[in-house]
Amino acid sequence: METLLGTDLNHAAALLRAGELVAIPTETVYGLAGNGLREESLRRIFEAKGRPLSNPLILHFASAAHLAGYVRPEAVPAAAHTLLAAFSPGPLTLLLPRELAVVPDMVTAGLPDVAVRIPAHPLLRELLVRLDFPVAAPSANPFGYISPTLPEHVLRQLGGRIPYILDGGACQAGIESTVVGFGPAGEPVVYRPGAISLEMLQAVVPETRLRTSAEKAQRVASPGLLPFHYSPHTPLQLFGPGLVEVPAFDPTVTGALTLRDPVPGLPLNQQVVLSPGRGDLAEAAHGLYAALHRLDGLGLRQLLAERLPQTGLGVALNERLEKAAAR
């Protein structure tokens, strides 16, 4: 199958209506979209990614009003409305009780909650309003590999397996949405740290918390919980934060990813500094996956990556780095 790249919304919509897959730009990472209500399309998503059926998918909607009919309104906690009002459209995914007769089991891996998100990317929003169904879309990477933030990443990884990539340029946030479920008292619980930090959520709903370790042990409902994910093929080792304890390396076969300054003694063309001189975490998030793609393509034997400050977006970025290193 030939994979075309373009900005033709009519073509993308026609393919999705026909049950085919389309890679879509979002403000976080590129997604691999299919009709979220059609079993055949859902199956194609899992096949194209090589993803186990036990990992549930996110449904993407044009607006919060479009959620009607897919989630059970009487079971939506008040805090969910508050978060939607504050962060949608945007990089927020909510786990809400699904209408069992409408949302296919294959979307949620049989779980009672469905993950829903209202993305902010203008091109994707234009696409969604043309459709009379939500699209299911995991990140458009083969299972376990680095998420794509550029159309070229998708083309390289899934080229030949999907008919069309909707080209929306570079993803602005560069890191996946924050996945938020709800605890026994209706309080928001962060299942996957992402582009909206815990601090930002707490500014709107102060009761928002991370999952307890007991809750984490309870079930592996999120590939975010699998020990490896987002991994380059080249072995990756973490150090820091800071450049004081860089592990010993052979400069001829080593690449490095750092926040503010390059690693001394290593050729600069084997390094990516995410936010030179500034150490800005939003800038680091924007460039993280593209940096991993680039370094992984250099044919080196080892990659070193600096841990980031464990605050704000740094929490989500460190989580991705730990998983990328753990394989």
Nearer to ligand TXA, 137 or 158 (CB): 137
- φ, ψ of residue 162 to 5 degrees: the values are -135, 150
Nearer to ligand TXA, 182 or 249 (CB): 182
Residue 177, marked binder: yes
Residue 55, marked binder: yes
Q: Should residue 139 be labelled a site residue for Mg ion when binding is judged by CB under 5 A?
A: yes
Q: Which of residues 51-70 bind ligand TXA (CB under 6 A)?
A: 55-58
Q: What's the closest the beta carbon of residue 301 comes to ligand TXA, in angstroms?
A: 29
Q: Which of residues 236-295 bind ligand TXA (CB under 6 A)?
A: none
What's the half-sphere exposure (Cβ side, CA atoms, 13 Å) at 150?
12
**Residues in contact with 185: Cβ distance below 8 Å, sequence separation at least 6, in sequence order:** 207
Q: Should residue 28 be labelled a site residue for Mg ion when binding is judged by CB under 5 A?
A: no
Residue 70, marked binder: no
Residue 258, marked binder: no
Nearer to ligand TXA, 177 or 254 (CB): 177
From ligand TXA, Mg ion, none, interface partner of 157 (C-beta below 5 to 8 A by class): none
- Distance CA(96)–CA(210), nearest Å, equals 17
Nearer to ligand TXA, 115 or 263 (CB): 115
Assess contact for 10 and 121: CB atoms under 8 A: no
| Beta strands 58-60 and 113-117, pairing class | parallel
Nearer to Mg ion, 139 or 149 (CB): 139
Q: Which of residues 94-133 bind ligand TXA (CB under 6 A)?
A: 95, 108, 111, 113-115, 117
- Distance CA(93)–CA(58), nearest Å, equals 8
- Distance CA(170)–CA(27), nearest Å, equals 9
Q: Which residues pair with 303 in a beta bridge?
A: 236, 255
Residue 301, marked binder: no
Q: Should residue 139 be labelled a site residue for ligand TXA when binding is judged by CB under 6 A?
A: yes
Residue 147, marked binder: yes
Tell me, by CB under 5 A, how many residues bind Mg ion: 1
Residue 28, marked binder: yes
Each residue 150-189 as x (binds ligand TXA by CB under 6 A) or -, in order, gives --------------------------xx-x----------
- Distance CA(308)–CA(197), nearest Å, equals 14
Q: Which residues pair with 181 in a beta bridge?
A: 189
In the structure encoding, which two tokens stand for residue 326, read together? Answer: 């753990």
Q: What's the closest the beta carbon of residue 162 comes to ligand TXA, in angstroms?
A: 14
Residue 65, marked binder: no
Residue 60, marked binder: yes
Q: Where are the alpha helices (DSSP H) in the chain?
A: 9-17, 39-49, 78-87, 105-108, 122-130, 151-158, 198-204, 213-218, 281-296, 314-325
Q: What's the closest the beta carbon of residue 110 comes to ligand TXA, in angstroms?
A: 9
The 8 Å CB, 24+ separation contacts for 6-12 are 6/164, 6/165, 6/166, 6/167, 7/123, 7/166, 7/167, 7/168, 8/166, 9/123, 9/126, 9/127, 9/130, 9/166, 10/130, 11/164, 12/127, 12/164, 12/166
Residue ranges binding ligand TXA (CB under 6 A): 26, 28-29, 31, 55-58, 91, 93, 95, 108, 111, 113-115, 117, 137-139, 176-177, 179, 191-192, 221-224
Residue ranges binding Mg ion (CB under 5 A): 139
* Residues in binding site for L-threonine: 28, 60, 117, 137, 177
